[in-house]
Chain A
Amino acid sequence: MALDLTKEKGIPLDQQRFTWPDMVRTPISKLNDDAFTRVRVILMNGIENESWIFQHQFARVNGALRKELARVRRVEQHQQTLVNWLLPSDQSVLETTIGYEQVAVEVTATVATHEPDPYMQQVYRFGLLEDFDHLYRYSALLDRLEGKDANDILQNYTDVMPGRPTWVEHRHPDDDLRAHYDRKKAHPLTKIHAMLVLAAEQQTRNFYATVGNYYADPMARQLYAEISSIEEQHVTQYESLQDPNEPWLEKWLLHEATEVYCYFSCLQQEGNPRIKQIWEQMLAYELGHLNYVMDLFRREEKRDPFEVLPRTLPQPLNFASHRDYVREVLRDEVNLRAQGTRFVPADQEPQDGPSATYRDYLNSKGSPSETVSAGYRWMPGTELIARAQALRAQQAGVH
């Protein structure tokens, strides 16, 4: 089903309201809901957070639109709460972290495969292999700290194996900046993709930076510190894809369009009827925001919003396992490194260049991601199964 943005009005902003029980609902089931329901919840929390942050920044530099921004932002706040509170409390911080990395892998993969611009595709593939590695390192921590299997969260959709090693992902800030799209030439989907991947990575950075101190374990604290730092790099990378010459109102329009696109994608593929109803309501709210901002755009910019927006929404995100695609990218591109805005084979990265120097110092007293996963190989039911089998074999040998 295509969504015609020229006709869909959604629910008007002044009719969008919540009670506390509206926001605080029964959460999804960690055990019974499909992993992609969790993926969608996590992604949409990131999308809502990004809108909220953006609208605050906008309000700080624009006096004329302060009131309009405050009105929309208040609804975004309550939407974010509704969505994020769908995560259950029996999902430990580390299990939620596994969910965040599954979002990073599978959503970035669907974006990379749908992205029309070849350079952007390359950027997404580059980032994908780094988050893929984080999933492996955190899985080792979950197994070795809590005695739990990351696959209880992943549900067999996403591989647990090394990607581009986290310790080589540390780069000088200059090597995290990418070439941006041209706002006048880029396909609308390119703009939406850049926005949504940025939103996902930003919430991941914020989550790790907030919960990293929850664990008493110095190993866990170090690992969250390390991966949070990479997520900051990813925010820098994806943020730099956006054309800095876009007027603020154009950016706002794109934010609302991204929210509509993402909720529409969620609605198309949600299997849990209770959650589907939420996506439907949130889509209607976002269509209301989009129309509200389109009116502002016409009034303030004196332009047709469809100079920026597509008239109908593009193909939705594909919330599914991308195992074969990810393995292919891993095989072909794991040894790429960033040099300025370009990607080069590892052997072409200067050994005394800014990234190598930066990385060597950061890792000079040990690498948390390397330490936590030393000798770790994922197997069903945790690596302790292999240890128990070895013990059993040893005992049988003795007897």
Chain B
Amino acid sequence: MERLLNFIYEYRAFFTFLLLELSCAWLVIENNQYQSTKYFNSSNRLAANILGFSQGVREYFSLRTINEELSYENAALRTQLEKKNQQIQGITDSARLNQFEYVSAKVMSNSTNLYKNFITVNKGAADGITPGMAAISDAGAVGKVKSVSEHYAVLISLLNVDEQVSSVIKRTNQFGSVRWDGLNMRYSNLLFIPRHAEPMVGDSVVTSGYNAVFPEGVLVGIIRAVNLKEETPFWDIRIELSQDFGRLAFVEIVKSRLKSEKDSLERITIGDPK
């Protein structure tokens, strides 16, 4: 026993090193798993305030574009309102009518050039935001909420190699998944479109609504290149993301009122998700 202790003491630097590296590795692996409420990320108040200050300085240089975007968004919202008004006649189920509620949030920090990009926004649990909700902008899909604190939330961006969004080609109704490859912040890939489908350059790709996280039909991107290799069962499809993540200033977090109902129904019939 004494020799063992002596041995450990002699190599204490190495053992400390192992211990620290193992705990780091554990943190890395654990963080890769989806959705959680954590304290040690940019949603904690001090970190978010510091990042918000940095973003605030940067925003002075892009006030003009932000203003333009806001006015576009206003216009888009007005047309949407008009459309909704016309749809309302005929639907009587008020839960269905108010299925989605939108919370507008300001971007505090955003990265686009890592492999795993995250966005911090200034709305959190106090505004009813929980992990798993979708985030969209007027241009299109942005991401999902990964973790929340009282007043801030961290979104997992579409520019994250771990993130997949169930999507559909609008023209042909073929289902697939959009996943980023880590290379160019303007382009992403649409996976799992089978050989017999006929995707074309210029088709729009929208969210499918199968997962009830995103509302159905939110624009994700436009197909820019299609390619079918001899041996693969699926098409290679490259899409241009409709949201330019380099200029993201405001997002809307989508609260889905019917999600829990849909989930619990599916759990009863299909069983727990893996």
A binds B: no
What is the interface of chain A, defined by CB distance below 8 A to chain B?
none
